[in-house]
């Protein structure tokens, strides 16, 4: 009888630990989702825009223009709050190249968004190697409008 009580107690303890771990994982995932930015590329009459359709701010935003898989331009963009958009005036009506933005959420987690053939995708992590030297980055306010 005592052995059965011990087995039941151990089983209850194991189930409690499993419940705690599952709840912790789900809570962390939910909390990350509440602050995750999701940047997408949209095309409007004046050209390409980057919009934040996510739930949190996109910080440390860098626009990368690719020809094939080679990066041809790196541009620092302003931070984008939830619901904000930015006209990528220097890309204008370019439909031939691939656009990628790399950015971070409020906790510093890295993300990437890609536009290729009018399809925007968003992934965790940096899809493109970022430039660490700030002198190698173009600044959006210094760039002229560019036709594609």
Q: What is the DSSP string of 52-104?
A: E-SSS-BEEEEEEEEETTEEEEEEE---B-TT-EEE-TTTTT--SSEEEEEEE
Taking 80 as the threshold, does the pLDDT of residue 58 lie above it? yes
The better pLDDT of the pair 146, 47 is held by 47
Q: Indicate if the pLDDT at residue 91 is higher than 90.
A: no
Domain 37-142 carries which CATH code? 2.60.40
Spatial distance between the Cα atoms of 127 and 107, rounded to a whole number of angstroms: 19
Question: Which residue from 51, 52, 17 is spatially nearest to 37, judged by alpha carbons?
Answer: 52
| Percent of residues, the chain, with pLDDT higher than 70 | 94
Q: Name which of 52-66, 73-87, 124-138 the model is least confident about.
A: 124-138
Helix (H) or strand (E) holding 32: helix 2-35
Is a pLDDT exceeding 90 seen at residue 67?
A: no
- Give this prediction's pTM: 0.75
pLDDT band, very low/low/confident/very high, at 141 (cuts 50, 70, 90):
confident
């Amino acid at each position: 009888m005592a052995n059965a009580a011990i087995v039941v107690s151990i089983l209850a303890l194991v189930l409690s630990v499993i419940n705690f771990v599952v709840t912790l994982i789900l809570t962390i995932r939910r909390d990350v989702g509440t602050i995750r930015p999701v940047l997408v590329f949209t095309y409007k009459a004046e050209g390409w825009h980057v919009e934040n359709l996510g739930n949190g701010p996109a910080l440390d935003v860098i626009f990368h223009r690719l020809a094939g898989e080679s990066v041809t331009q790196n541009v620092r963009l302003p931070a984008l709050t939830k619901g904000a958009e930015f006209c990528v005036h220097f890309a204008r009506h370019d439909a031939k190249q691939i656009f990628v933005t790399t950015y971070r959420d409020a906790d510093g987690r890295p993300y990437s968004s890609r536009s290729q053939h009018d399809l925007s995708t968003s992934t965790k992590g940096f899809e493109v190697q970022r430039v660490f030297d700030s002198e190698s980055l173009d600044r959006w306010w210094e760039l002229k409008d560019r036709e594609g």
